[in-house]
Each structure stands twice: as structure tokens, then as C-alpha cells.
């Protein structure tokens, strides 16, 4: 990192490895991925690449698709604009023969599986707060400037980070002087490693944070050093947003496309996993447990509070975040109903920053309204993130709790973040195992020049076909008559 706190611009050198063939493919495994376009760019200027991506799913979403509604009127499953594939088939077993590859010198080498966990990162000390904020605001997926103004990104990031730092520092000071994110993510990584081992898969787990240590760039350097032969990318965000998973994938895309070894490395990306049965059930377990702490559990309003995004992300750039969030909450509520809990529930968005409109309704406004409407017992459920962090520990536990109590809510509870809940960690390990057979390298997809050739060819075909069609039409009796009658 440089003196201003900017994150390192890591350039990864080309590798000598030529992993020209990979064999044998899984035999008893049903591939879980579909070929689909992944946007690593901002979706409004997509240069999508053919890459194998996995949307981790299972019977839960199939059931929901069948129900065919939306959160209020029942959800509808959509293929989202960032090219996400839904409804993967279940894995039926792990191929005992799928354990090696042949390098260019025809030596059989052992498969080395890596799992890259992507996360946001957080300042570990109060001195880290301003440079962390700089990294966050310098991200074009966080502050999306129109193209002619993009040169202002870094000066603007510097300005906003300096202006916001005192308020953020206060928040971090109130939760012990720094973000707990690194520690929790380390523990989750250990948990996933152990869960994978218990399922017969040895894997190296890497943590790639977007805005603080250990940066994604560092994790990728380590993946290269360790000569990983297959990589599963698992963002620790249940729902996809351009501002979170999308931003991290863009970093990966930039690094991978410039590096010979990485562009040949078979990789599977789990873009979102909010609909996995294991995750939904783990959330329902936690909610059910907290409901029982109230004197009258059936009277408690379940209040889902998700981190917001600016409205333009959803409305203009096609961020699937809101749809996925609503679907996720629908599934959790279905699970609770199946367990006999019929509580009222609502969803609101928290943590807005800056003057623009964010996803509504806003958490603070809804809390006040609910208090005024006479809701007396409320259980807050953080739903967009799986670790405790500043927005659960400070914003929800302190600010929103105080606001709720002032507004007339008498009984307040909060569901803890999933953290290392064992059913949840096991489910993430399953998601990795299911994704593994679909790993595919960037270089096996069409190259840019092939794409350009293809584009030129299709352009030429269209031109020729169009000219012939125009010629035929012009010579057609009707057109000739129309010309004669001066209708054009």
C-alpha cells in the first residue's frame, strides 16, 4: 500500500506453466454449472466473457419457482442481467479418478484445490479507517461516475474519505477500535477447510478482501505460489451486488486476463448462494432461537435489515441485489412457516451514504413507523452479510435499537450473524464441492481476437444478406409500383 493508503496495483507476471490439458473429467459427478455470461465490468457497459459460473442452488429455489410469486405476491425466478445461471443440478458424488492433470511435459501432477473467499475487509485500527475508506470510494463499483468524469475518481475518493473518516472512526471506536471482519473471516476459512476435509476434499483456503488486508491481490499471488490447479471462488455475500461480489470479480477478471498461468487455471465462481437450503435453514434456526427469547414469540415482528445500495444500481445498471434479497427473505419466511412460525415480517435497507436515493424503505424510517403503528416487539435480522461488522454492532445494536425504543417499540432483539454456525459452514463446503467439477479456465473460452473475428464475420454476413434483401425488395413489383406512384 502506498502512503495515501491506496491498495497495491499488483501486476502478476506470466508463468512458465503450460497446463495445456486437464484430465480426466469427473465421471460420477453431475456438472452443476451452466455456461453463462459473467459481467466483470459494470453491467451498463458489459463486455461479458464466456466463463463457467455457478449459482449455487438446490431444492429450495425449485420449490419457490414452482410457487411462482414474489416476496409480496410470490417470487419469480429471473435470469439476471449479470448473466447468472440458476438451478444447478445436485452433485451425486465426487469422482475418485478426478485427481490429476497432465502438464506440458506429460508428468501427472496432483490436483491442488484452492478456495478463494471474497470479502469486503475492514479497518483493523482507527488509523486504518481513512485509507480503508479511500480504497472503498476509489472503487468505480462503489462510486459510479459517468465516463467523462472518471478521472475525478481518486481525488473524490480522497476528499470523501477524509470528510467521512471522523464519523466512521467514532463508529469503529465504539465497537472496540476496529472491524472484526478479518478475524471472523479467518475463522470461517478454517471452518470451511475442516468441513471440506471431513467430506474428503483437501483444499487451501485463501481470503481476498476488497478494501483492506489481506487484499485480493495478495491472495492471488499466494495461489500462484502454491501452484493451485483448480480454484473455486466463493464470495461471502449471500446475494450478488455490483458493489460487492461484482466489484471483487472485476478485480479478479483484470488480474486473471493478464496472466498466463491464471488465465489457464480452471476456476468456478459461485456468484450467489442466498437460495441454498443449508443457508436458509441456518438463518431460520437463528431466527427461531431468538424468537423464543421473547415472552410472546408469535407477536414479534421479524425485521429484516439489509445493507442498501443506491437506487440507480438496481434501476439503471440492473443490479439483481434487490430481487435476490426479496427472494431470500421469502425463502426464509417459507422455512419459518414450515416450522410453525407465522410472524409478520418486513424488509428495509440500512447504511445509506451520500446525497443520492438508495433502495427504500429505509430502516430508520420504517422503525419509527412501526413504533407509531403500535408494534411492541421487534426482532432485527441482518441479512446481507454473514459476519458481525460495524453495521450490526454499531448501527443496528446501538443506533437502531435506540431509535426503535424511542419510537415505542418495547421489546428489542437481534439475530446474530451466521459467523461460524456449523450448519452454515457445512453448507458453504457443500457449495464448493458442487462447484468444483464445473471449473473451467478463461483461456478455453473464445479469445478476444476470435471474438473480434466472429464479430467481423457476422457483420459481413449481415451486410451481404441485407444488401441482397434490399436489392430484391427494390426490384419487387410492389416497390416498383410504389416508386411509380411516388409513395416514397
Ligand X SMILES: C=CC1=C(C)c2cc3[nH]c(cc4nc(cc5[nH]c(cc1n2)c(C)c5CCC(=O)O)C(CCC(=O)O)=C4C)c(C)c3C=C
Residue ranges in contact with ligand X by CB under 6 A: 120, 122, 133, 136, 142, 164, 168, 179, 181, 237, 241, 243-244, 307, 309-310, 353, 384-385, 389-391
CA-to-CA separations, 316 to 10, 44, 319, 357, in angstroms, rounded: 31, 8, 8, 13
In whole angstroms, the minimum distance from the beta carbon of 351 to ligand X comes to 6
Tell me if 145 sits within 8 A of 260, measured CB to CB. no
- Name which of 25 and 360 has its Cβ closer to ligand X: 360
Say which residues have a Cβ less than 8 Å from residue 41's Cβ, sequence separation at least 6: 47, 48, 250, 253
In whole angstroms, the minimum distance from the beta carbon of 311 to ligand X comes to 11
- Name which of 179 and 438 has its Cβ closer to ligand X: 179
The residue at minimum Cβ distance from ligand X is: 122
Nearest to 346 by CA among 279, 301, 389: 301
How far is it, in rounded angstroms, from Cα 302 to Cα 140? 35
Nearest to 381 by CA among 315, 483, 306, 440: 306
- Name which of 98 and 383 has its Cβ closer to ligand X: 383
- Name which of 110 and 316 has its Cβ closer to ligand X: 316
- Name which of 229 and 392 has its Cβ closer to ligand X: 392
- Name which of 84 and 377 has its Cβ closer to ligand X: 84
- Give phi and psi for 443, each to the nearest 5: -75, -15
- Name which of 362 and 385 has its Cβ closer to ligand X: 385
In whole angstroms, the minimum distance from the beta carbon of 163 to ligand X comes to 11
- Name which of 223 and 309 has its Cβ closer to ligand X: 309
How far is it, in rounded angstroms, from Cα 341 to Cα 360? 26
Residue 448: half-sphere exposure toward Cβ, Cα within 13 Å = 5
In whole angstroms, the minimum distance from the beta carbon of 315 to ligand X comes to 14
In whole angstroms, the minimum distance from the beta carbon of 164 to ligand X comes to 6
In whole angstroms, the minimum distance from the beta carbon of 479 to ligand X comes to 54
Tell me if 246 sits within 8 A of 418, measured CB to CB. no
In whole angstroms, the minimum distance from the beta carbon of 307 to ligand X comes to 4
β-sheet with 267-270: strand ranges across: 34-38, 49-54, 267-270, 230-235, 113-119, 203-209
In whole angstroms, the minimum distance from the beta carbon of 35 to ligand X comes to 27
Say which residues have a Cβ less than 8 Å from residue 341's Cβ, sequence separation at least 6: 287, 288, 291, 297, 298
Residue 52: half-sphere exposure toward Cβ, Cα within 13 Å = 24
- Name which of 221 and 353 has its Cβ closer to ligand X: 353
> For the purposes of burial, counting CB atoms within 10 Å of the CB of 406, is it exposed (0-12), middle (13-18) or buried (19 or more)?
exposed
According to DSSP, residue 238 is labeled S
- Name which of 389 and 401 has its Cβ closer to ligand X: 389
In whole angstroms, the minimum distance from the beta carbon of 388 to ligand X comes to 8
How far is it, in rounded angstroms, from Cα 392 to Cα 414? 9
End-to-end distance of the chain based on CA atoms, in angstroms? Answer: 66
Cα–chain-centroid distance for residue 146? 23
According to DSSP, residue 6 is labeled P
How far is it, in rounded angstroms, from Cα 34 to Cα 193? 26
In whole angstroms, the minimum distance from the beta carbon of 362 to ligand X comes to 14
| Angle (CA) 141 427 235, round 5° | 15
In whole angstroms, the minimum distance from the beta carbon of 93 to ligand X comes to 34
Residue whose grid cell is 413504533? 371
- Name which of 309 and 431 has its Cβ closer to ligand X: 309
- Name which of 396 and 439 has its Cβ closer to ligand X: 396
Return the CA Rg of the chain.
25
The SS3 of residue 321 is: helix
In whole angstroms, the minimum distance from the beta carbon of 275 to ligand X comes to 16
Amino acid at each position: 500500500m502506498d502512503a495515501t493508503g491506496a491498495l497495491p496495483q499488483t501486476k502478476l507476471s506470466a508463468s512458465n506453466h503450460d497446463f495445456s490439458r486437464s484430465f480426466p473429467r469427473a465421471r460420477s459427478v453431475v456438472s452443476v454449472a451452466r455456461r453463462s455470461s459473467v459481467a466483470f465490468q459494470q453491467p451498463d457497459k458489459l463486455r461479458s466473457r464466456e466463463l463457467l459460473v455457478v449459482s449455487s442452488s438446490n431444492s429450495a429455489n425449485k420449490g419457490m419457482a414452482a410457487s411462482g410469486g414474489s416476496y409480496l405476491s410470490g417470487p419469480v425466478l429471473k435470469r439476471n442481467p449479470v448473466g447468472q445461471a440458476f438451478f444447478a443440478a445436485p452433485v451425486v458424488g465426487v469422482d475418485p479418478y478426478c485427481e490429476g492433470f497432465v502438464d506440458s511435459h506429460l508428468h501427472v501432477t496432483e490436483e491442488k484445490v484452492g478456495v478463494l473467499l471474497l470479502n469486503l475487509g475492514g479497518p483493523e485500527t482507527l488509523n486504518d479507517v481513512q485509507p480503508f475508506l479511500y480504497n472503498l470510494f476509489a472503487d468505480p463499483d462503489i462510486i459510479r461516475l459517468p465516463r467523462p468524469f472518471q478521472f475525478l475518481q481518486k481525488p473524490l475518493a480522497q476528499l470523501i474519505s477524509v470528510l467521512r473518516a471522523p464519523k466512521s472512526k467514532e463508529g469503529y471506536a465504539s465497537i472496540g477500535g476496529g472491524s472484526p471482519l478479518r478475524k471472523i473471516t479467518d475463522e470461517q476459512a478454517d471452518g470451511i477447510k475442516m468441513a471440506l476435509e471431513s467430506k474428503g476434499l483437501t483444499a487451501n483456503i485463501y481470503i481476498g478482501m476488497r478494501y483492506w488486508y489481506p487484499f485480493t491481490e495478495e491472495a492471488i499471488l499466494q495461489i500462484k505460489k502454491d501452484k493451485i490447479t483448480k480454484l473455486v471462488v466463493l464470495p461471502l455475500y449471500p446475494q450478488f451486488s455490483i458493489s460487492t461480489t461484482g466489484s471483487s470479480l472485476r478485480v479478479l477478471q483484470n488480474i486473471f486476463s493478464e496472466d498466463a498461468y491464471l488465465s489457464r487455471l480452471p476456476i468456478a465462481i459461485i456468484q450467489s448462494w442466498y437460495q441454498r437450503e443449508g443457508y436458509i435453514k441456518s438463518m431460520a434456526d437463528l431466527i427461531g432461537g431468538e424468537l423464543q427469547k421473547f415472552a410472546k414469540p408469535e407477536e414479534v415482528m421479524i425485521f429484516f435489515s439489509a445493507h442498501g445500495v443506491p437506487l440507480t444500481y438496481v434501476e439503471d445498471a440492473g443490479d439483481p441485489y434487490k430481487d435476490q434479497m426479496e427472494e431470500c427473505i421469502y425463502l426464509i419466511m417459507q422455512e419459518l412457516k414450515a416450522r410453525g412460525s407465522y410472524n409478520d415480517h418486513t424488509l428495509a435497507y440500512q447504511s445509506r451514504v451520500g446525497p443520492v436515493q438508495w433502495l427504500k424503505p429505509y430502516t430508520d424510517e420504517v422503525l419509527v413507523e412501526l413504533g407509531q403503528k403500535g408494534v411492541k416487539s421487534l426482532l432485527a435480522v441482518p441479512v446481507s452479510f454473514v459476519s458481525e461488522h460495524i453495521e450490526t454492532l454499531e448501527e443496528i445494536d446501538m443506533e437502531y435499537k435506540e431509535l426503535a425504543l424511542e419510537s415505542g417499540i418495547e421489546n428489542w432483539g437481534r439475530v446474530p450473524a451466521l459467523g461460524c454456525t456449523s450448519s452454515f459452514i457445512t453448507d458453504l463446503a457443500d457449495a464448493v464441492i458442487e462447484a468444483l467439477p464445473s471449473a473451467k479456465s478463461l483461456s478455453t473460452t473464445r479469445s478476444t481476437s476470435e471474438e473480434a473475428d466472429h464479430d467481423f464475420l457476422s457483420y459481413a454476413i449481415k451486410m451481404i444478406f441485407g444488401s441482397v434483401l434490399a436489392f430484391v425488395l427494390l426490384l419487387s413489383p410492389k416497390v416498383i409500383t410504389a416508386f411509380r406512384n411516388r409513395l416514397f
